[in-house]
Structures are given as C-alpha cells and as structure tokens.
Structure 1
Amino acid sequence: MTPVAVITGASSGIGANAAARIADAGFEVAVVGRNPERTKAVASSVGGTAFLADYDSLDEVRGLAASLADTYERIDVLANNAGGLLHHRGLSKDGFERTIQHNHLAPFLLTNLLLPRLTGGRVIGTASIANTFGSFRLDDLQWQKRPWLGGWRAYGTSKIATILFAEELARRAPVESYSFHPGYVATSFGAESALVKLGNRVTNGRIAITAEEGATPLVTLATVDTVGAANGTYFDGLKPNGRVNRVIRRPGVAAALWEESARLVGLSSS
C-alpha cells in the first residue's frame, strides 16, 4: 500500500521542494496550500493531490481535515510546514493574533482532527532557532500586552509552541512526533521585514541556504524508517536536541499549552 504524506505550506519554498522529494521516495503526496494556482501546479508536478486552505480561518482548517479524512483511510506523515513571520500585528478571522494562529493553533487543530488517520504515523513540525528569542507567556499568546517590534518575538514564541506541541503530542498520542529548524532559507520568508531585507542586502543573500537544503531535514524525517532519536525530539537541521528557549524545559509548560490551545480552538483537552 502506497504511504501517504500530507505537507502543508507546500505551494512554494521548502514545502514544494519536500513534496517533490517525498513523492520521489514513493509516497502519495497531499499538497496543501493557500494559493490555488501554485498549489495545483506543485501537486500536478509531483503527481499528488491539491488541497486548499487559508490558515487565517479555523473553519477552513476544519474543512481541510474533513477533506483529507474523506480522501485517505490512513495518513503516514503529516508535515505541519505552513506559517511564517508577519511584520504587522493583526487578527485572524477567528479573532486570534495571526502569528500564533497560522504557526500553532491551525496545525494544532489540523493534527488533532486527523489523529484517527495518523495512528502509528509521524507528525513533523517546522520550527526555528528563533524559538530561542521568543517570549512565551500563556496569559498573552495573543501578544496584546507587549510591543510588537516587527513580529520577531511573536514569531519566536510561536516556534516555542511548535516545539512544545511536538513534545506533548509524543506523550499523548500513538504517533511519532518531531520538530526541526530548517536553517535560514532563501525563500519569501519574512519578505516584509526590514531586518530580513537589510540582512539580505548586506550579505548579498549569502547568509541564506537553498530551499533544497532547508527541506532536507523534513524529507529525511518523513522518509527514514527509523528516526534514531527519542519521540518528541527537536532537531537543528539533522542534529537532534537543538538549542531551545529555557521555558521549553520548564515542567508542565507543554501540557498547559495543550490545554489552552484546545480551549481556544474548541477541542476537548483529552
């Protein structure tokens, strides 16, 4: 039976590159994206199926989960790769700060809704070394009580959430769960950020790695038979146990985030 991989944020960048390489490894690939033309083009190029969803709407995430569950009896890999850095603070259609919704709440909801199809499978979250400068506060996930500062600390905080979610999912569900930092990739990431623009200008783009290099940890974690690290591990590239914000090692934080996330998206905490 052909294994199935669902890759979100797969219409460009490392998601599109990973989709092609995972398809070459023998998987049937569900290509999930927001842009209809790009998503369908990638799906066509890899022999996969396109699914559309805008993470600004949790109803669209619920619809995506329903469509995937209707299409596949089993999902072997779910790569939660969608998300990004938002330069300006704003609210989603659901009234949540968009960074935490796009990067954490939406994949949290999608994963939980797909768990009946994922039993024995593998869930992979695209995190970031930016987690180290995040400022995690469970009472201010919406970033209402602190200055925005171009969105960088909110982005780092959302990646703390990605790592914590992977760890707690490994404890709660019958799946393998990992997160990884892909490196600073030369894609459209942070395109509106003055800091990113300055860095690219000063270095002539030399600090960035290619989308193929950035996708390699995702492809490896999705396709190897045995990961060779503890369930819940965060990887820096392909190196296990990457550097993390100290809040991640605080007892009870991952469970507390799970409970709060479930409450916000309307799921049972169990």
Structure 2
Amino acid sequence: MSVRLPDPARMEGRTVVVTGASSGIGRAAARELALLGADVAVVGRNRERTEAVAAETGGRAFLVDYDRLESVRELAAALLEAYPAIHVLANNAGGTAARDTTPDGHDLTFQRNHLGGFLLTGLLLDRLKATAKAAPTGSVRIVQTSSAAARSGRVRLDDLENRTGPWLGGFRAYGTGKLENILFTRELARRLQGTGVSAYAFHPGFVATSFGGEGVVMSAVKRLAIPPEAGAAPLVGLAAADPLPVPSGNFFDRLTAPGRTPGQADDAALARGLWEASARIVGVG
C-alpha cells in the first residue's frame, strides 16, 4: 500500500546541509527549508550562484567540486567546523557528464553521482549520530536525490567505473548512479539501525532545470517538465516532515512510498558490496 509524505513541519533550531543547492531543486529546497526556520548550509560549485542562494536564505555558502575528492574532504571539514550539530544531510548533487576521468582517476559520472556523496556522508556521519542523541526521535536524516532513471541502470561491482558497455550519451551511467544512490540509502539504513539516524531516497519527478543540456530535443521535452519548486517538494518533506510514515531505507516516487525500483535495488548483498568497494576507493566507511 502506498503512503503519502506528510506536510513539512517547522524546523527552527535544526541545521540542514543541501548539496547541489546553487540551482534547480537544490536551490528551491534551500529556500523552502529556510522559510520553515532551518539553518541551511548552501553547498554548490559555482561561487556566484551559491553565495546568491545563501544570501536569499540567510544561510552560509560552501563551495565544492565533486570532480575532486579532496574538495569534498575540505567541504566536510568546513561543515564540521561551522556546525556543532547537523540534523539533515541532503545529498542532491549529481547529473550526467561526458565520458571522462576525474583528477582522482575515476569515471566522472560515477564520482559526481555516487562517490562524492558517499565520501561526504562518511565524513559527516559521526556528527549526525551525535546530533541524533540530543534531537527529537527520527528527526536526523540523510536524504538522497535519486531518480526513476535508476530503473535503466545496472550496477556491476566489477565495473563501477563504467568502462564497458554502450555510453548512450551518459544516460546509462547516470541511471546506474541513481541506482547506486538507492543501494547506498538501503545499506545506510541497515548500518544506522539504533543510532537515531535514518536514510531515504527519492525521485523528484521530471524537473525543468539545466539538467541534460539545451538541445532541440531536450528543450522540447522540458516543456512537459514540472518546475523546480515541485521537484523540491519530496526533498523538503523528507527533511522536515515529522514523523515520516515509512521505515528508514524507503524510496519515494515524488511524494509516495514505496516507489517502484529495479530488482537490483533489493539486493542486500549488492548494497553491501557497493559500500565496501566505495569505502576502499575513498578511504572512508
């Protein structure tokens, strides 16, 4: 039976970290969370846009380049210095990318969609757990922006870097990254049992943002898309609704759970394997 996400509650006294917050649903979510009273850490890649959103929301701007894992480590250090408590981490950064290799030697799409968020979460996890000890039950959460595109992905532990198979403009690798977001969420939920920290993933819907470029076909398709504010609604609800109506580890399709996922999303051994491989790669976890 489907369960609908409740309306957001007030968030005074809570700190929310939103990555990918300089545009799109991240920007819309940061604005709405600030209106609900949250102290928002606005994380983005572009300095001008990130600082503009921070000014709009009364939050603080933090810059990061997910193409460099050292930049993610620097972000985590800055967040830990700035906030003695972190109530919500919203891993929202990601997207399609050219078939390229990062300075760290990893597939660009894999690093942007999974490795960066995995590393940031691992570096902030102790702070989230400590926050949960003093916070209201169930209010400390990790939220992953995934996608229905996960249904087109396939995770292979022997090819996490997307070295084989057709590229298909990056959308195959993107779908795999979004499936990795769900697997990561479910393994997080398993590992965080009893800590007071919960984890959820969601599909925002097809949103009218800069994602996917501005070609003729994509521009035509985007006319059917929902605005960023609507796409941000699941992120805001998962950060702010109190309580959430489903257990940790659930995937929301927009505002309802459980959302439809591919068979691999239910493979607990694959989720553990992805975690262990990712931890070896980034040295955290």
TM-score (ref. length: structure 1): 0.94
In the TM superposition, what is the alpha-carbon distance from 1:247 to its structure 2 partner?
1.1
Alignment-derived partner of residue 116 in structure 2: 106
Q: Is 2:156 the counterpart of 1:134?
A: no
Alignment-derived partner of residue 41 in structure 1: 52
Q: Cα RMSD over matched residues?
A: 1.2
Alignment-derived partner of residue 210 in structure 2: 188
1:7-54 Cα offsets, whole Å, 9 max, x none, are 000000000010010011110000000000000000011000000000
Q: Is 2:252 the counterpart of 1:260?
A: no
Per chain length, whose mean CA-contact separation is higher, i.e. which structure has more relative contact order (CA < 8 Å, sep 6+)? 2
Instruction: Please state whether the residue corresponding to 2:16 is helix, strand or coil.
Output: strand
Does the 8 Å contact 2:202/2:253 carry over to 1? yes
Q: Which of 16, 20, 27 lines up with 2:27 in the alignment?
A: 16
In the TM superposition, what is the alpha-carbon distance from 1:116 to its structure 2 partner?
1.5
1:62-115 Cα offsets, whole Å, 9 max, x none, are 0000000011111000000011112x2001111100111011100000001001
Instruction: Please state whether the residue corresponding to 1:198 is helix, strand or coil.
Output: helix
Alignment-derived partner of residue 37 in structure 2: 26
Q: Is 2:186 the counterpart of 1:167?
A: yes
Instruction: Please state whether the residue corresponding to 1:15 is helix, strand or coil.
Output: helix
Instruction: Please state whether the residue corresponding to 1:41 is helix, strand or coil.
Output: helix
What are the equivalent positions in structure 2 for 1:54-65 lying under 5 Å apart?
Answer: 54-65=65-76
Instruction: For 2:208 and 2:232, locate their aligned partners in 1 and report how far apart those are by CA, in whole Å.
Output: 11
Instruction: For 1:2 and 1:230, locate their aligned partners in 2 and report how far apart those are by CA, in whole Å.
Output: 24
Q: Which of 240, 245, 248 lines up with 1:228 in the alignment?
A: 245
Q: State the one-letter code of the partner of 1:187.
A: T
Alignment-derived partner of residue 235 in structure 2: 218
Does the 8 Å contact 1:200/1:207 carry over to 2? no
Which ranges in structure 1 are unaligned for 5 or more consecutive residues? none
Q: Is 2:166 the counterpart of 1:147?
A: yes
Q: State the one-letter code of the partner of 1:258.
A: W
Does the 8 Å contact 2:27/2:53 carry over to 1? yes
Instruction: For 2:119 and 2:144, locate their aligned partners in 1 and report how far apart those are by CA, in whole Å.
Output: 13
Instruction: For 1:104 and 1:91, locate their aligned partners in 2 and report how far apart those are by CA, in whole Å.
Output: 14
Alignment-derived partner of residue 122 in structure 1: 141
Alignment-derived partner of residue 90 in structure 1: 100
Alignment-derived partner of residue 78 in structure 1: 89
Identical positions, percent? 52
Q: Structure 1 residue runs of 4+, over 2 Å off?
A: none
Does the 8 Å contact 2:187/2:268 carry over to 1? no
Aligned residue pairs total 262
Q: State the one-letter code of the partner of 1:242.
A: G
TM-score (ref. length: structure 2): 0.89
Instruction: Please state whether the residue corresponding to 1:70 is helix, strand or coil.
Output: helix
Instruction: For 1:212 and 1:130, locate their aligned partners in 2 and report how far apart those are by CA, in whole Å.
Output: 20
Does the 8 Å contact 1:186/1:209 carry over to 2? yes
Alignment-derived partner of residue 223 in structure 2: 206
Which ranges in structure 2 are unaligned for 5 or more consecutive residues? 1-11, 133-139
